[in-house]
Chain A
Amino acid sequence: MDAIEVEGLRRRYEAAGGGTSGSGFEAVRGVSFSVREGEIFALLGTNGAGKTSTVEVLEGLARPTAGTVRVLGFDPFTQRAYVRPRTGVMLQEGGFPSELSVVETATMWAGVTSEARPPREVLELVGLGTRCDVRVKQLSGGERRRLDLALALIGRPEVLFLDEPTTGMDPEGRRDMAALVRELRAEGTTVLLTTHYLEEAEQLADRLAIMQAGRVVAAGTTEQVVAERPSRISFRMPADLHARELPLSVPAAVDGRRVSIRTHELQPVLTELLLWAREAGVRLESLQARSASLEEAFLEIAQAGHRPEDGGDTSAHMSTDAVTGVWA
């Protein structure tokens, strides 16, 4: 069974002052995906892609403008009483009174959670065991994220929402977070996370979706998302050779002496290139060959999605055009 089901979700923010004039901004424009029980699902996207707007609906903080959302089979907004005891939420930004201490905050949260773990136990779990009596306002950004995670875990949730859990964390914090998330999966917890760190998604997520301007533009396992992307070979041409002397049947982009080849058939193309180079006695400097990474796929999708109406980065938009020009 799917722990989370999202079908045709739309979310519109009305312009300030409310009103029904249809003004405002549609942050989520028809998103559908599902997260299986016990799965780690990552929602990726640039800032403003609609990740948090989507997750907030799943958390039951906002009503969808259109579409349906189910968490553990219930509507998280209208049936929140059924959903809340079984979910844990880590918002993008904390939300703790700055004058309470760490343990006071956790105690408060335990008090509003059914079957809560002891506050100190869960603080220990996230590595805040020695910071119990520190006021929240004195915590570092990473420590706040740990506290937020502790609260999200206090009720042993079946479904855990993590909205950019590692933002502001140092590498050690991110490693701890990743280890914890893996442990939770081993215990059967369903995790939906959004993140800016693609390698994090690559390492952790069973499946992922990439959002762009309010829509899901790619979804599946990392392999599936990346598979549609070409692999890349690049090297520097010896000064005495011209690009047209290259034997390759695939299109190559030449920028000065730098040659890039993008192909869905990495091995045969690379073989052909290397055999040619050996026979011709050519030395290929700075030779690189790599399969598409999630990061590449992500950047490509993000750039392709930039249209002038999105007010995006026009220089990125231009350079994408230039590159496609060469490939064509």
Chain B
Amino acid sequence: MSTTSATTANPLKPAGGGRASTLSPRRIRALARAELTLLVRNRASLFVALLLPIVLTFSTKTAAEQADLSGTGLSVGTAVLPGSVGMVLLFAVYSNLVGVYVARREELVLKRLRTGEANDVEILGAAALPSVAIGLIQSAVLLIGGALLLDTGVPSRPDLLVAGLLLGTLMMVTLAAASAAVTRTAELAQLTPMPLMLATFAGSGLFVPLEVFPDTLAEVCRWLPMTPVTDLLRGAWTEQLSGMETLRALAVAVGWTVLGGYALRKRFRWEPRR
């Protein structure tokens, strides 16, 4: 370095921004605050994120009341609640974030942000924060509401509940970014979340416990991304998850998160295709 370069900062000391550098709370706060403002101004997203999971909870509750839960070890409450939290993760976090990432990319916001000091993790992480916060708050509301209205009580294995919530959230964020990578336009962002959402509805035990499926089908479904999350959440109340099953659920959830992170690293685009 030349000594003639007029700079106030020590040029050898990075101010952050590199992939390996530490995260800056100040930068994350600034980006997340802007993203929250945008979320509040986007009525459609806000509606989907805030109301849909609640509405769906009520409709599944009605269905669960008519279902035969004998032999599953579930009550109406513990059958409905894990599914509702799963839906919160799908709608408020996953589906919403696919739209956010694609919109920011297509508006060239991501490209612009990358010219600044924020690093990639900060940019993507901060954009996810408002959705994640809404997802976690809603989950808390559902859990409290369940305890009060559906007599689920306090889960006997809160560690599984926390693990399911955190892993599920992290997985949804990485899968959302990975999905955004294969989404070419903002319009298509309505469509690309569908495969994961439909697969989850059908096969991850959100509404129907996998125990009622034929064995081979249930086995296949256990490898779906959201199944371990539902298993962990449900296990928090039923205590029917064995040690092996718990480990397997954790491994599958971590596996999908890592896979999402890998795809995102390899495929994520910071600007629109030419």
Residues of A within 8 A of B (CB): 1, 3, 13, 16, 37, 59-61, 72-73, 79-82, 84-87, 89, 91, 93-100, 104-105, 107-115, 151, 155, 158, 188
Which residues of chain B come closer than 8 Å to A98, judged between CB atoms?
A: 107
Note all chain A residues with C-beta closer than 8 A to B26. 111
Residues of A close to B107: CB separation below 8 A: 95-98
- Interface residues, chain B, with chain A CB atoms under 8 Å away: 1-2, 4-9, 11-12, 14-18, 21, 26-27, 29-31, 33-34, 37-38, 41-42, 104, 107-119, 122, 270, 273-274
Q: A80-B18, A82-B11 are in contact. Are A59 and B30 (CB under 8 A)?
A: no
For the complex of A and B, the 6 pairs showing the least CB-CB separation, nearest first, are: A111-B30, A95-B112, A81-B14, A81-B18, A95-B108, A1-B2
Determine which of A16, A80, A109, A115 lies in contact with B273 in the assembled complex, contact meaning CB atoms within 8 Å.
A16
CB proximity of A290 to chain B, nearest CB, Å: 40
Of the candidates B11, B115, B117, which one forms a contact with A61 in the assembled complex, judged by CB atoms under 8 Å apart? Answer: B115
Among B9, B12, B38, B270, the residue within 8 A (CB) of A100 is: B38
* A99 with B30: CB separation less than 8 A: no
Q: Contact check, A112 vs B115: say whether CB atoms are below 8 A apart.
A: no
B interface secondary structure, majority: loop
B15 lies within 8 A of A114 (CB)? yes
Contact B30 A95 (CB under 8 A): no
Known contacts being A13-B274, A94-B108, A158-B6, is A112 close to B116, with CB within 8 Å? yes
Chain A nearest CB from B107 CB (Å) reads 6
Q: Counting chain B CB atoms within 10 Å of each CB, which of A105, A114, A115 scores highest?
A: A114
| Residues of chain B lying within 8 A (CB to CB) of residue A93 | 108
Known: A61-B115, A104-B34. A96 touches B27 (CB 8 A): no
B115→A91 contact, CB < 8 A:
yes
Q: Is the CB of A84 within 8 A of B117?
A: yes
Question: Which of A72, A100, A108, A109 makes the CB contact (< 8 A) with B5?
Answer: A72
Q: Given A95-B109, A97-B104, do A73 and B116 touch, yes or no (CB 8 Å)?
A: no
Contacting pair B17 A81 (CB below 8 A): yes
